[in-house]
Structure 1
Amino acid sequence: MSWRLASRLSVISLAIVVVILISVIQHNRATPSAPSSSGSVGSTSTSASGLQGTDLNGTQAPNFQLTDQYGKAVSLAQFRGKPVVLTFLYTHCPDVCPLTAEHLHTTVQQLGSDAKNVAILAVSTDPKRDDTAAAMQFSTEHNMQNYWHFLTGTQQKLSPIWSSYSIYAQQQQGKVNHSTALFLIDKNGKERVYMGDDFTPNQMTANLQQLLKEK
């Protein structure tokens, strides 16, 4: 083989390799990567059971007891037989918490007569300022006083509950930095899905209607 032919073949081979590399790079850029297993999953994902949210594998929900906006002792266990929405809020929150309350109010309106068969619990993340009066005021402002239990307590009572549900809560300059989470618990007291604060009333309503049909 002459050196000219060998040189031409080398150039052609190099060109083919370059074309293949460019094609692979373009394909990788065009194909979205799968979410990391350590990343959070949005409310729009669907669990194996068909519920919208992040699957929690039916873990037994830790029980607790606190005081609601009416000054009554309320425990999670007393709602066995009903689906439960469990969230974590504070009454002086300027943004996410009021929106969550409004979305939950829309949800109970959409549920209609089924709303009485669902429990909604909002656990405070601000023990220094959230008391019975503040809980009632916040509940009334968002038309939830008769639809949920806004639960308050001391730091000593609340901290273990936050920990058991992996909730972060830290007061900083008048605001509370805390995890935004809604846990859907079934009639048997088992955690079914987690929903972020980007949930919609339609998603929540559909989830609760499905849990209501379960035995």
Structure 2
Amino acid sequence: MTMNWRLASRLSVITLAILVVITVALIQRQHAQVPATANMSSSSSSSSGLQGTELDSRIAPNFSLTDQFGKPVSLAQFQGKPVILTFMYTHCPDVCPLTAEKLHSTMQMLGSDAHDIGIIAVSTDPKRDNTAAALNFSQSHNMQDYWHYLVGTQQQLSPVWSSYSILAQTQGDQVNHSMGLYLIDQQGHERLFMDNDFTPSQLAANLKLLLKK
């Protein structure tokens, strides 16, 4: 009986440990999909007409990195323009290329208004994303003249990820990272978060509304 009790006790401990591991893994997976933005207030279309999750309009944290042309670029320099801010990496096999294509389609929909929009893509892969990789990726998706694909070292990029509640974890050849994009208004306030399932027409409509304000 004593041995059976001890065995049952050990099995209980092992089972509990397994449950904890599974729970932590599920939480991490959820965080990799959606930024942990506690300042989100509502989802879908709102009274403002914007489609997505409205934010509390705090001032978007500024940062400065290097773009695909080797030029220094800061968020602050886009004051006066609505800004699309997203996070991706050039070796991404699925979501990032699709996001780039949707951004290109959005710019085409906007026509001449596209020049009044700032687009920033921040790398989540400091080891492989350099200026050459960023330029090649930009050209592959016809975005080189529309956005600034920003790269940097781990030390330079980590604070930016943290400021926008972005999780970026390298696992082998892939990077698990938060997906979606932020819309920042002309005054530099965080206005909206859109999940990665956004459509170009939805994004274009949001940008047109911001341009009118």
Q: Same fold (TM over 0.5)?
A: yes
Deviation digits for residues 70-103 of structure 1 (CA, Å, limit 9, x no counterpart): 0000000000000000000000000000000000
TM-score, length-scaled by structure 1:
0.79
Q: Which structure: larger Rg?
A: 1
Deviation digits for residues 149-203 of structure 1 (CA, Å, limit 9, x no counterpart): 0000000000000000000000001000000020000000000000010000000
Give the aligned partner of residue 189 of structure 1. 188
Give the aligned partner of residue 66 of structure 1. 65
Alignment RMSD, CA only? Answer: 1.8
The 8 Å contact of residues 37 and 165 in structure 2, kept in 1 or not, is answered as no
The 8 Å contact of residues 87 and 121 in structure 2, kept in 1 or not, is answered as yes
Q: In the aligned structure 2, how far is the partner of 1:77 from the partner of 1:39?
A: 21
Give the aligned partner of residue 161 of structure 1. 160
State the one-letter code of the partner of 1:145: Q
Change in 2 beyond 3 A, CA 1:39/1:170: closer
Q: In the aligned structure 2, how far is the partner of 1:53 from the partner of 1:155?
A: 30
Give the aligned partner of residue 9 of structure 1. none
Give the aligned partner of residue 33 of structure 2. none
- How do residues 143-182 of structure 1 correspond to structure 2 at under 5 angstroms? 143-182=142-181
Q: In the aligned structure 1, how far is the partner of 2:182 from the partner of 2:142?
A: 21
Deviation of 1:48 (Å): 3.6
Structure 2 gaps, min length 5: 1-35
State the one-letter code of the partner of 1:193: L
Q: In the aligned structure 2, how far is the partner of 1:67 from the partner of 1:78?
A: 13
State the one-letter code of the partner of 1:61: A
Residue 124, structure 1, aligned to residue 123, structure 2: yes
Give the aligned partner of residue 206 of structure 1. 205
SS in 2 for 1:129: coil
Task: Detail structure 1 runs of 4+ shifted over 4 Å in the superposition.
Answer: 38-41
TM-score, length-scaled by structure 2:
0.80
Q: In the aligned structure 1, how far is the partner of 2:37 from the partner of 2:132?
A: 38
Deviation of 1:47 (Å): 3.1
State the one-letter code of the partner of 2:108: Q
State the one-letter code of the partner of 2:172: Q
Give the aligned partner of residue 7 of structure 2. none
Give the aligned partner of residue 84 of structure 2. 85
Residue 115, structure 1, aligned to residue 128, structure 2: no
State the one-letter code of the partner of 2:59: Q
Change in 2 beyond 3 A, CA 1:95/1:44: farther
State the one-letter code of the partner of 1:47: S
**How many equivalent residue pairs?**
176
Q: In the aligned structure 2, how far is the partner of 1:193 from the partner of 1:101?
A: 19
